[in-house]
Amino acid sequence: MTGSTTSIPLLIREQIPRSIVETPTGQTAASAPDEEARRLAAGVARGDESAFCALYERYHARLFRFALVLSRGDESLAQDTVQSVFITAAEKLRRADSEAHLWNWLARVARQQLARRWRSHQRDSAFVSAGALPEEFPAAEPDSVLEEILDAALQSMEPDERALIENFYFDRRSQKEIAEQLNTTPKAISSRLERAREKLRSLIKRKLSHET
């Protein structure tokens, strides 16, 4: 793996974190998650593609969950935000002392990227309806609160709706795979997903409004 994204396989071409890990002097033995985070980050810094793939797999789902709340349930915007987080990481991530340190950096970048996109939407307001623009950016909410909001919204859904969202977005299973599991058609799954997305979006907005 090099500094140029053009040499990276298509699957991960747009998401390449590059980091240099420095262990503070005198630090005691780290926990297993901290060691793993440092090991993966160091591997990515060396250009180890397998280390990057492991890092991507480890943080992609959590970042998407986080971005989904930040975007108030807009899954397309959340996906774009996650893509941008890894692109930014490829250019600017240089240090990870622990798992928490690495996650906090990624979450901060997610906030920055989403805020930038919303400002861009506002500048292009002639092409975006007022109803499509997000409400106030929930920047003051701690990361843990935002993750709890998503969990609460999911728990408010029917079990089959929740399972559908989790299978498609968090487990990244295709509509065809889900349809085969449920003995139905991809078209039926697409329709059910659309209804589940709208419900989740509404629940997230409602729960955010109660928190702010």
Pair (104, 198) in one structural domain: no
Nearest-5° Cα angle at 63, 62 to 68: 100
**Structure confidence at residue 73 (pLDDT):** 86
Pair (154, 173) in one structural domain: yes
In-domain check, residue 35: yes
CA distance 103 to 21: 14
Is pLDDT of 132 > 70?
A: no
In-domain check, residue 20: yes
Give the end of a domain, one of 129, 156, 183: 129
Tokens 């959340």 belong to residue: 78
Please give the single-letter amino acid code of residue 193: L
The total number of structural domains in the chain stands at 2
Is pLDDT of 159 > 80?
A: yes
What percent of the chain has a predicted confidence (pLDDT) above 70? 72
Is pLDDT of 114 > 80?
A: yes
Pair (153, 120) in one structural domain: no
More confident residue, 192 or 125: 192
Is pLDDT of 122 > 80?
A: no
Pair (17, 86) in one structural domain: yes
Pair (97, 21) in one structural domain: yes
In-domain check, residue 13: yes
Pair (145, 88) in one structural domain: no
Q: Is the full-model pTM beyond 0.75?
A: no
In-domain check, residue 101: yes
In-domain check, residue 68: yes
Is pLDDT of 2 > 80?
A: no
Pair (82, 16) in one structural domain: yes
In-domain check, residue 134: no
CATH number at residue 192: 1.10.10.10
**Structure confidence at residue 124 (pLDDT):** 52
Pair (125, 150) in one structural domain: no
Is pLDDT of 80 > 70?
A: yes
Cβ contacts of residue 8 below 8 Å, gap of 6+? 1, 16, 49
Pair (163, 197) in one structural domain: yes
Residue 136: pLDDT band (50, 70, 90) is very low
Residue 149: pLDDT band (50, 70, 90) is confident
Lowest mean pLDDT segment, chosen from 17-31, 35-49, 144-158, 164-178: 17-31
More confident residue, 126 or 115: 115
What is the DSSP code string of 33-88?
Answer: HHHHHHHHHHHHHTT-HHHHHHHHHHHHHHHHHHHHHHTTT-HHHHHHHHHHHHHH
Pair (78, 118) in one structural domain: yes
Cβ contacts of residue 95 below 8 Å, gap of 6+? 19, 20, 21, 22, 101
Give the end of a domain, one of 77, 97, 129: 129
- The H helix count followed by the E strand count for the chain is 8, 0
Average pLDDT, the chain: 75
Pair (169, 206) in one structural domain: yes
Give the end of a domain, one of 67, 101, 129: 129
More confident residue, 200 or 138: 200
Residue 201: pLDDT band (50, 70, 90) is confident
Q: What value does the mean pLDDT take over residues 122-133?
A: 44
Q: Please give the residue range of the domain that contains residue 152.
A: 140-212
In-domain check, residue 135: no
Task: Give the tens place of pLDDT for each residue, 39-74.
Answer: 877 777 777 777 778 878 888 989 899 998 888 888
Lowest mean pLDDT segment, chosen from 108-112, 157-161, 185-189: 108-112
Q: What value does the mean pLDDT take over residues 105-110?
A: 87
Pair (120, 147) in one structural domain: no
Q: Are 155 and 140 in contact (CB under 8 A)?
A: no
